[in-house]
Amino acid sequence: MSNAGIGDDGSEYETLDHKVPPRAPLFAFLSSFPFLLWGLGWWEGFYNHPEGNCGFLLACIAVISGVILCAVGVNGMLDWTLRF
């Protein structure tokens, strides 16, 4: 039993885009924040190295990794949002 305006065919469901964001870009975007916060919190500037050169190097690597993860996540999320 159906309404006159509502079809019983379930094939229309397959053509609809789902509203749930893709997992990989969302995970990359959300996982970039700990890297950025940790790296920027540890990195107190170019000329002040409180943990020595090793700490400065690790902070730089964390910030670069966070920026890369954020860019990958934003790119994937942007692709997903532009499909609608």
User: What is the band of 32 on the pLDDT scale with cuts at 50, 70, 90?
Assistant: very high
Q: How far apart are CA 70 and CA 76, in angstroms?
A: 10
Residue 49 maps to a domain: yes
Q: Which of 28, 37, 41, 42 is nearest to 70 (CA)?
A: 28
The answer as to whether 76 is a domain residue is yes
- Give the domain extent around 60: 25-82
> Residue 78 domain-assigned?
yes
Instruction: Report pLDDT digits (tens) over 70-79.
Output: 999 999 988 8
Q: Tell me if 6 is assigned to some domain.
A: no
pTM for the predicted model, two decimal places: 0.67
- Asked if residue 74 belongs to a domain, the reply is yes
Answer whether residue 36 is part of any domain.
Answer: yes
Count of the separate structural domains present in the chain: 1
